[in-house]
A = this chain, B = another copy of it.
Amino acid sequence: MTESGTAVRNTRQRSAVSALLAEVDGFHSAQDLHAMLRDRGERVGLTTVYRTLQGLADAGEIDVMRPPGGEHLYRRCSEGHHHHLVCRACGRTVEVAGPTVESWAERVARQHGYVDVSHTLEIFGTCPSCTG
């Protein structure tokens, strides 16, 4: 159940999703990505898009954000742990690193006896372009 010979296979569909994620900027929903693939002429089922994104997310190759709106948004991100600064109006996103926060979260959790600590953090604001 944990890590036997999972034998992930290379398929046209999986490549198409990965390739698309490598080219587009910003966050996109599964439905959104599915539509883009269709526009490109790649025939990939919606179910497969969901499964592939889930797999990539589990593997840590992409980031998932769950905004209040409801849809899950996926994005290819730089490696390593980081957070996002997102514009409320236009969605423009900046990756930010916060060593201070990392250690703070870890420390606070430890103080309460919690172990195996992780966290999620999103910062929202209005970007310069949308301010005026």
Contacts and interface: CB of A to CB of B under 8 A. Distances in A.
A119 B100 CA distance: 16
Nearest to A89: B116
Copies in the complex: 2
B119 A126 contact: no
Nearest to A127: B114
A132 to B, nearest CB: 11
A125 interface: yes
A112 interface: yes
A74 B131 CA distance: 32
Interface of A: 66, 68, 85, 87-88, 94, 96, 98, 100-101, 104-105, 108-109, 112-128, 131
Given A121-B119, A122-B120, A85 B100 contact: no
Contact of A116 (B68, B114, B126): B126
B128 A123 contact: no
A109 B96 CA distance: 9
Contacts of A68: 66
Contacts of A128: 112-114
A42 to B, nearest CB: 29
A55 to B, nearest CB: 16
